[in-house]
Amino acid sequence: MNILLTGGLGYIGSHLALGLLKNKKTKLTIVDDLSNAKLSTKNTIKYLSKKKFKFKKLDLKNKNKLQKLFKVGKFDLIFHLAGSKSVKESQINPKKYYENNVIGSINLLHAMIENNVKNIIFSSTATVYGLHKKNCYSENFSREPINTYGLTKKIIEDLLIDLKEKNQINTLILRYFNPAGCHISGLLGENPQGIPNNLYPYIIKIIKGEVKYLKIFGNNYKTKDGTGARDYIHIQDLVDAHLKCIKLVKKKSDIFNIGTGRPYTVLDIINSFKKYCNFKINYNFYSRREGDIDIYYNKISKAKKKLGWSAKRGLKEISQSTFNFAIKSK
Ligand code: UD1
């Protein structure tokens, strides 16, 4: 099978590339604009997979280059992961998100339709739901994003659903909860430049000794210990969910939440590093971060039933692989 993976050198994309390359019959082409990924990741994927694949530095906004890629590529399936993903940045610079996420995706869909490529699996997010009264989110919750990042993902979902209804494509949409953890080798993980916004990349900086302590945003949430609770999904489980989609997408278009169904608080995460890695994370409490909610997690039943997938790993595997990656990338 001839597969195109967009955003394939990023945190999720690089792990997915390794998963895809395990199948001997797969011919993989990776594109990435390198805006939030390093070119050296290409060599890490090569080293770990011991397989050949094609790589092109490509910005999806470049329609002509994209058309050329599709003319020679003859793809059977697209995994579309490329996009900008900082909630904070999307509120400050929404235009960047309209362009990178929405226009980039429109160009990709245009190239697919022009070249009669039918199948696309799209990387969406639970952020599309926005705030709901219930904590356990299912796929039929209404989508009411509260930030531009979430809005752009919702718009792309709508385009996919519309094209699917017009029989132009087959699509599976995956709404991720909080991806976490790193590759077992310790050679791939999430390591953004500068001060990270998200919890695990921040903890990686602490393990590396670049930051002294964690700022916990809020200690008066309605959770067991007052700190915010999320559904952290191990990157390898996330990859497995994508691999399950390959067969299904040709038969049925659908939408799946991808999470574990178990919420953990910030203090649970801190304790997991002590318990499984014997590493103490120092912290101080700060005021709440704007837009944060108390707790939310996935209602796992649909993916289990219809995709035949559920998460196998937990906080132990997440903390150990994160620790291993942080130490190795010191
Ligand atoms: C964030 C994004 C979401 C994205 C997800 C990817 C926001 C508002 N939402 O979700 O769109 O899909 O990441 O994983 O940015 N925390 C601290 N200190 C820190 C960092 C985080 O206490 O330095 C807390 C947060 O308050 C929260 C939890 O840790 O309770 C998780 O935060 P984070 O990793 O940023 O994820 P989300 O906010 O759930």
pLDDT at residue number 257: 98
Angle of CA points 182, 188, 193, to nearest 5°: 100
pLDDT at residue number 124: 98
Q: Where in the chain is the domain with CATH 3.90.25.10?
A: 199-230+262-324
Q: With beta carbons less than 8 A apart as the criterion, state whether 78 and 108 touch.
A: yes
pLDDT at residue number 220: 97
With CA atoms as reference, report the closest residue to 120 among 246, 15, 21, 225. 246
Evaluate: CB of 228 within 6 angstroms of ligand 1. yes
Tens digits of residue pLDDT in 14-67: 999 999 999 999 999 999 999 999 999 999 999 999 999 999 999 999 999 999
Evaluate: CB of 285 within 6 angstroms of ligand 1. no
3 CA to middle of ligand 1, Å? 31
Strands 264-265 and 229-230, bridge-based pairing:
antiparallel
Q: How far apart are CA 301 and CA 139, in angstroms?
A: 10
Closest ligand 1 atom to Cα of 292:
8
Q: Where in the chain is the domain with CATH 3.40.50.720?
A: 2-180+232-258
Evaluate: CB of 215 within 6 angstroms of ligand 1. yes
Radius of gyration of the chain (CA): 19
Per the document, the length of the chain is: 330
- CB within 8 A of 70, min separation 6: which ones? 111, 112, 114, 115, 117
- The CATH code of domain 2-180+232-258 reads 3.40.50.720
pLDDT at residue number 73: 93
Q: With beta carbons less than 8 A apart as the criterion, state whether 3 and 105 touch.
A: no
CA 316 from chain center: how many Å?
A: 20
pLDDT at residue number 235: 98
The domain covering 199-230+262-324 belongs, at the CATH homologous superfamily level, to UDP-galactose 4-epimerase, domain 1 (3.90.25.10)
C-alpha distances out from residue 269 to 45, 278, 288, 302, Å = 28, 13, 18, 27
Q: How far apart are CA 163 and CA 161, in angstroms?
A: 6
197 CA to middle of ligand 1, Å? 7
Low-confidence ranges of the chain (pLDDT < 50): none
